[in-house]
Amino acid sequence: MLTAAGVPVQKNNSPRMKPDPKELGFGRFFTDHMFVCKYNPEKGWHDAKITPYQPFQMDPGASVLHYGQALFEGMKAFKNQKGECVLFRPDYNWQRMKDGAERLCMEAPPKDIFIEGIKALVKADLDWLPEDPNCSLYIRPTLIGTEAFLGVRPANEITFFVILSPVGSYYSTGIEPVKIWVEQKYLRAAPGGLGSTKAAANYAGSLKAALEAKKKNCAQVLWLDVERQHIEEVGTMNVFFVFDNEIVTPKLDGTILAGGTRDSLIQLLNRSGRKVTERKVTLKEVMEGVRNGHLKEAFGAGTAAVVTPVGELISDDFNVKINDGRIGPVAQGLYDELTDIQRGLRPDTFHWIVKV
Ligand SMILES: *Cc1c(COP(=O)(O)O)cnc(C)c1O
C-alpha cells in the first residue's frame, strides 16, 4: 500500500513567486509540484511520484486527444483554526472517480494512490496554502487515456495526475447571490450518457451555453432535462430550492452529477430535522413558487463555490428574482455550518475531515 511518506519527491528547485492572496480568484495559479502515476496492463499502477510542475510529454496519438478519455475531480485542502491542513471527504471523490472511470472504460487509481498521492502533493506544496480563512488549495485529480492508437476502443495506458491551485472565493463578488441563466436550448446530459460523471467531455459541451449566459450577465447556467421541463443542476453545482415547508433538490437519476457538497448538505439538513426531499423538480413549479411566494430561496452547492444563493433566474422568456435577490437564512446557515466544519470551528461529527 502506498503511503504519503513513501511517495518519491523530485523537488522543484526553481519555485515560483506566490501570488497575493487577494488576487487569487479561481484556478489561475498553479503550485510548484504535481503528482503523477501511470497504469498499463503489464505493470499495473506504477511509478507514483511527485515532480516539479511541468508540461507533459505526450504522444499525439494519445486517446485522450482523440476520443476524450478524460475524467477529473475537484476537492479542496483547508487550513483549520489550529493551523493543520485537512482534506474534506477525499473518499467521496475517490469513489466518484472510480465510478466515472468505469463508465468511461478507464482503469481507476486504487484508493491509496488517489488519497496518499494527494496528501503527499499537498504536503510538498503546503506553503502555497494561504493563511487567509477564505482561501484554500483547490485539488484537481485527473485521469487520462495516454495510449497512442487510432482505433476507437478504451486506452490500455492511463495516466493519473494531480495538480493544485491556491484559490480565493469562487465568485469575485464573494457569497453574493448570482444571476443564473436557465438554458432551454442546449442540453448538458441525456439519459444513459455521461451526466453523472465528471467527464471532461461534459464541460466541453457546456461552454457554448456558458458563453451565451455570460453575455446576458449570468454567472452560471441552469440545465434542464432532455424534455426541458425538469431542473437538473447548475454548471458546477447541484441546486436546492426552499419552498415553504419543503427543501427540495433534484433526484439523482443518472444525468446529474452526485455532488459531495450536495450530499453533505442533505446530511446536515436531515440532522437538524429539516427534511430534504430528493425528487423531480419542474421549472414550472419553481416559476409558480416565485409568482405565489412559496419559493423562499434557491441556492447552488459545489466544492468550488460552496453554497451560492441564486438571486435571479433569467431566460429568453422570463426574468425573476428569488428572495428579492438576497441571501436567505437556509443558504447562509448551511454555508456557515459547512465552512465551520472544514475550518475546525464546529465538531466533525460525520467524520468528513481527513488530516494531511
Ligand atoms: C463538480 C460538480 C458539481 C459539484 O460536486 P461537488 O462534489 O459538490 O464539488 C455539481 N455539478 C457538476 C456538473 C459538477 O461538475
179 Cα: distance to centroid of ligand 1 (angstroms): 18
Q: What is the pLDDT of residue 245?
A: 82
Q: What is the pLDDT of residue 25?
A: 85
The pLDDT tens digits for 93-107 are: 999 999 999 999 999
| pTM of the model as a whole | 0.96
Cα(274)–Cα(350) distance, rounded to whole angstroms?
17
Q: What is the pLDDT of residue 174?
A: 54
State if residue 236 touches ligand 1 by the CB under 6 angstroms criterion: yes
List b or e across 54-91, with b for residues whose CB sees 16 or more CB atoms inside 10 angstroms: eeeeeeeebbbbebbbbbbbbbbbbbbeeeebbbbbbe
State if residue 303 touches ligand 1 by the CB under 6 angstroms criterion: yes
244 Cα: distance to centroid of ligand 1 (angstroms): 26
State if residue 260 touches ligand 1 by the CB under 6 angstroms criterion: yes
Residues written for the chain: 356
Q: What is the pLDDT of residue 21?
A: 85
Cα(164)–Cα(121) distance, rounded to whole angstroms?
8
The pLDDT tens digits for 2-61 are: 999 999 999 999 999 999 888 888 899 999 999 999 999 999 999 999 999 999 999 999
292 Cα: distance to centroid of ligand 1 (angstroms): 30
Q: What is the pLDDT of residue 315?
A: 96
Residue of 236, 240, 264 with the most ligand 1 atoms within 8 Å of its CB, for mutation:
236
Q: What is the pLDDT of residue 89?
A: 98
State if residue 188 touches ligand 1 by the CB under 6 angstroms criterion: no
Low-confidence stretches of the chain (pLDDT < 70) are 169-174
Q: What is the pLDDT of residue 106?
A: 98
State if residue 237 touches ligand 1 by the CB under 6 angstroms criterion: yes
